Amino acid sequence: MQVKRQLLGLPSYKPGKPIDEVKKELGLTKVIKLASNENPFGASPKAAEAIRELAANTAIYPDGYAAVLREKVAQKIGVAQEQLIFGNGSDEIIQFLCRALLDENTNTVTADPTFSQYKLNATIEGAEVREIACKEDGTHDLEAMLAAIDENTRIVWVCNPNNPSGTYIDKASFEQFMKSVPADVLVVSDEAYYEYAIADDFPQSIPLLKTYKNLIVLRTFSKAYGLAALRVGYGVGDADFIAKLDPVRPPFNNTTFAHAAAAAALDDDPFIAECVQKNREGMKLYEAFCEEQGLTYYSSQANFILIDFERSGDEVFDYLLKRGFIIRSGEALGFPTCARITVGSQEENEEILSILKEMLQTQPIGQK
Ligand SMILES: *Cc1c(COP(=O)(O)O)cnc(C)c1O
C-alpha cells in the first residue's frame, strides 16, 4: 500500500512499559509505574460510581455533543458552552488542530524538547515543523519562537507547564507573547498539568480568550483528575473557530462512561485539592534529594520531575526497572542524561528515592 510520504520512517509511539509485562519479564511481584504522569491517587470515587450506574448502558451511542459534561465544564471555567470541543484525550484535539489547519504549504512552531504529539501530527499533515530549542532552564524561548513565525505559520504550540521539563511560562511572558503573535496564527496553550501548577504567576489563559480569538487552551481529565484510561480532554477557544473545527471531530469520540465519569470528577474539588497538596509535598522530597545529592533538576509546576543523573537516562531506567519502578528515560525525551519521574504517593517516593540513593552510592556522578 502507498501511504503518505511523510509517514515513511515515523516511529510508533513508545509508551511507558505496561506493569504486567514488566512483572512477567523480570519475575517481580510488585511493580510501580511512575512513567506517564498519571495520578498516583487514582480518581475521585465519584467517577467510578458514575460508571457503575451506567454499566448496562452499552447499546446506545454516546451523546456526541457531550451536553451534560459541556454544561459542567463551561460553568466551571466560566466560558460559553459553544467555546468547548471535547476530544478522546487532549491528544485528539492536537490531531484535530493539525488536521484542520496544517498542510504541506504551511509550517508550525514548537519548542524543543516538548510534548511529542505536536510534531508527529503536524508531520503527518505534511507541514514543516520549526523546532525552537528551549532555554537552558528548560523553558520555551518565546522570542525565538516568535521570530520563527512567517506568513505560512498556522499554529504555535505552547506547552505550559512543559512536558518533559515541568517548567512554566509566567503570566507576563505569556501575555506579552499573545500580544506579539500575529492575529491569524493560532496559539495552542496545552495545559495538561494546569491543576498542579500553583505558582502565583502561572498564567490564567481562559480570560485571555476574550481578547485573543487566535488562542485555544487544552485541558485534560487524564492527569490530576485521574481518568487517563477513559480518554477525555477538551479545547477552549473562540466559538466561531470551535464551530469551524468541529467537523474534523468523529461524531462519537468520547464514550458515555467517559462523559459521566468526567462530569462526576469535576464535582469533587476536595479530591483535586488533596492530590495537588500531596504532589507538592512529594515534589519537595525529590528537590531535597537532588540538592543533597548534588543533582541538577528542572523546577517543576507539574506532577513529574526531570532530573539530570549525568549518565544515560536508559541506565537509570534499567536500574529502577529491575527494582520494580518504571520511569521514563530522558533519552527519548530530548534530555539524554536525565530521567523523568512522576511524583507518586509518599511511600512510592520514599522507596524510589532510597533506590536512587543506593544507585548514586555505587555509581557516583562524575565517575563516567
Ligand atoms: C499527557 C499530556 C497530554 C495528553 O493527555 P490526554 O490523555 O490525551 O488528554 C497532552 N499534553 C501534554 C503536555 C501531556 O503531558
Q: Is the peptide bond before 203 cis (omega within 30 degrees of 0)?
A: no
pLDDT interval class at 25 (50, 70, 90) = confident
Contact assessment for residue 302 and residue 163, using Cβ atoms and an 8 Å cutoff? yes
Please name the residues in contact with 45: beta carbons below 8 A apart, sequence gap of 6 or more: none
**Cα–Cα distance for residue pair 6/254, rounded to 1 Å:** 28
Average confidence score pLDDT of the chain: 96
Nearest to 111 by CA among 91, 131, 127, 82: 131
- Which mutation among 162, 190, 328 tests ligand 1's pocket best, with the greatest number of atoms within 8 A of CB? 190
- Say what the pLDDT of residue 367 is: 61
Q: Could you count the other beta carbons within 10 Å of the beta carbon of residue 207?
A: 10
- Say what the pLDDT of residue 78 is: 98
**Cα–Cα distance for residue pair 179/173, rounded to 1 Å:** 10
Each residue of 29-51: pLDDT tens digit?
999 999 999 999 999 999 999 99
Nearest to 344 by CA among 324, 318, 315, 319: 324
- Say what the pLDDT of residue 365 is: 81
**Cα–Cα distance for residue pair 305/292, rounded to 1 Å:** 16
Indicate if ligand 1 lies below 6 Å from the C-beta of 89. yes
Q: What H or E segment, with its residue span, contains residue 33? A: strand 32-33
pLDDT interval class at 218 (50, 70, 90) = very high
pLDDT interval class at 18 (50, 70, 90) = confident
Structural domains in the chain, sorted by start:
5-30+270-362 (3.90.1150.10), 46-265 (3.40.640.10)
Q: Which residues pair with 110 in a beta bridge?
A: 131
**Cα–Cα distance for residue pair 181/139, rounded to 1 Å:** 18
Contact assessment for residue 245 and residue 8, using Cβ atoms and an 8 Å cutoff? no
Rounded distance from Cα 171 to ligand 1 centre (Å): 21
For ligand 1, atom 1: residue with the closest CA: 192
C-alpha cell at 134: 528551549
- Say what the pLDDT of residue 364 is: 87
Q: What single string gives the DSSP state of each residue in 199-215?
A: -TTS---GGGGGT-TTE
Each residue of 249-307: pLDDT tens digit?
999 999 999 999 999 999 999 999 999 999 999 999 999 999 999 999 999 999 999 99
Residue 12 predicted with pLDDT over 90: no
For ligand 1, atom 12: residue with the closest CA: 192
Residue 347 predicted with pLDDT over 60: yes
